[in-house]
Amino acid sequence: MFEGKIGFIGLGIMGKPMAKNLIKAGYKLVVYDKFAAFDDITALGAEGASSNKEVASKSDLIITMLPNSPHVKEAILEKDSVIEGAKSGAIIVDMSSIAPAVSQEIGKALKAKNIAFLDAPVSGGEPKAIEGTLAIMVGGEKAVFEKVKPVLEKMGSSAVHVGELGAGNVTKLANQIIVALNIAAVSEAFTLAAKAGVDPEAVFDAIKGGLAGSTVMNAKVPMILEGNFKPGFRIELHIKDLQNVLDTAKEIDVPVPFTGSVMDILQELKDSGCAANDHSAIVKYYEKLAKVEVRKK
């Protein structure tokens, strides 16, 4: 078990259950969120702080779980930030999904202060955050990863070191491409079945055990069949991740045409008022065009 106090910054839809799992595991936490209330976390025994700087000053390991690159940079590098409060030798683990280049930029600034940094984004959404079964992909120094791995394993079913700093977020971008394209493929296929008059629930039962079966299909088709688009993982967040994919792909000259197509679908859904829907609502795009709903009969 990691010895020392853990700071946790970012107590939203993902961060809050992750912090709760650390408390359940017996770790002592100092917590802060600029926007979200965290009384329920302090009620469980965590110490509340009034700034990112205060969290860092009281912690040996600081975890951040924030929406996007600008929020992470602000929390770690700007006014009243982690870098101002962290002790020499501290470790920061950013579990947000951000641009790999930003992770590298933050890591360089922290290294100058003798503060270790890992990028450790997660996959699994709110349900797996609550269960403590997230998939965690980690970039940075292997020795630092080994020190914090026991902590990460209280929030996830797996924590895998994938390479140097930034590699964690590259891996998450790859994950988000596959998830988005998979949901789009599922939506396209099941819309076809529904329009052809075949029961989509029967189609699901017939193919889920074959080569087309996937974790995405098993998680999202039941939601689609029920017309349940409560997130999960919001469309607006998947747009954020795919924008990081497109930006990174442009920087390193990699073609991602299918990602661009799904991004257009997500943007159209956002514009039509579906930004806060689960990303399984990609099916709504196909349903609208085909004039059919993919639902249980």
User: Residue 82: which of 61, 96, 102 has the closest Cα?
Assistant: 61
- Which sequence positions are flagged as catalytic? 172
- Range in 2-6, 194-198, 206-210 the model is least confident about: 2-6
Of all residues in the chain, the percent with pLDDT exceeding 70 is 100
The domain that holds 124 is classified in CATH as 3.40.50.720
Read off the pLDDT of residues 17-26 as tens digits, 9 standing for 90 and up: 999 999 999 9
Query: Which pLDDT score is estimated for 246?
Result: 97
Of 137, 164, 191, the last residue of a domain is 164
Query: Which pLDDT score is estimated for 250?
Result: 97
Of 164, 198, 219, the last residue of a domain is 164
Domain extent for 50: 6-164
19 and 131 together in one domain:
yes
pTM, 2 dp: 0.92
Which residues contact residue 219 at a Cβ distance below 8 angstroms, ignoring those fewer than 6 apart?
none
18 and 146 together in one domain:
yes
Residue 279 lies in a domain: yes
Of 112, 133, 164, the last residue of a domain is 164
215 and 272 together in one domain:
yes
From the CB of residue 247, how many other CB atoms can be counted at a distance below 10 Å? 14
29 and 129 together in one domain:
yes
Of all residues in the chain, the percent with pLDDT exceeding 90 is 95
For residues 109 and 103, give the distance between their C-alpha atoms in angstroms, rounded to a whole number. 10
Residue 297 lies in a domain: no
Q: Which residue has the higher pLDDT, 4 or 171?
A: 171
Domain count of the fold of the chain: 2
186 and 283 together in one domain:
yes
Query: Which pLDDT score is estimated for 95?
Result: 98
80 and 212 together in one domain:
no
DSSP string, 45-111: TPEE-SSHHHHHHT-SEEEE--SSHHHHHHHHHSTT-HHHHPPTT-EEEE-S---HHHHHHHHHHHH
Query: Which pLDDT score is estimated for 125?
Result: 86
Q: Which residue has the higher pLDDT, 144 or 127?
A: 144
70 and 160 together in one domain:
yes
Summarize the confidence of residues 128-147 as an average pLDDT.
97
Reply yes or no on whether the pLDDT at 76 is more than 80.
yes
Reply yes or no on whether the pLDDT at 1 is more than 80.
no
214 and 248 together in one domain:
yes
Averaged confidence pLDDT in the chain: 97
Read off the pLDDT of residues 240-285 as tens digits, 9 standing for 90 and up: 999 999 999 999 999 999 999 999 999 999 999 999 999 999 999 9
21 and 87 together in one domain:
yes
Q: Which helix (H) or strand (E) holds 183?
A: helix 167-195
For the chain, count helices (H), then strands (E).
Answer: 14, 9
For residues 65 and 178, give the distance between their C-alpha atoms in angstroms, rounded to a whole number. 22
151 and 176 together in one domain:
no
233 and 89 together in one domain:
no
The domain that holds 180 is classified in CATH as 1.10.1040.10
Summarize the confidence of residues 193-207 as an average pLDDT.
98
Query: Which pLDDT score is estimated for 3?
Result: 81
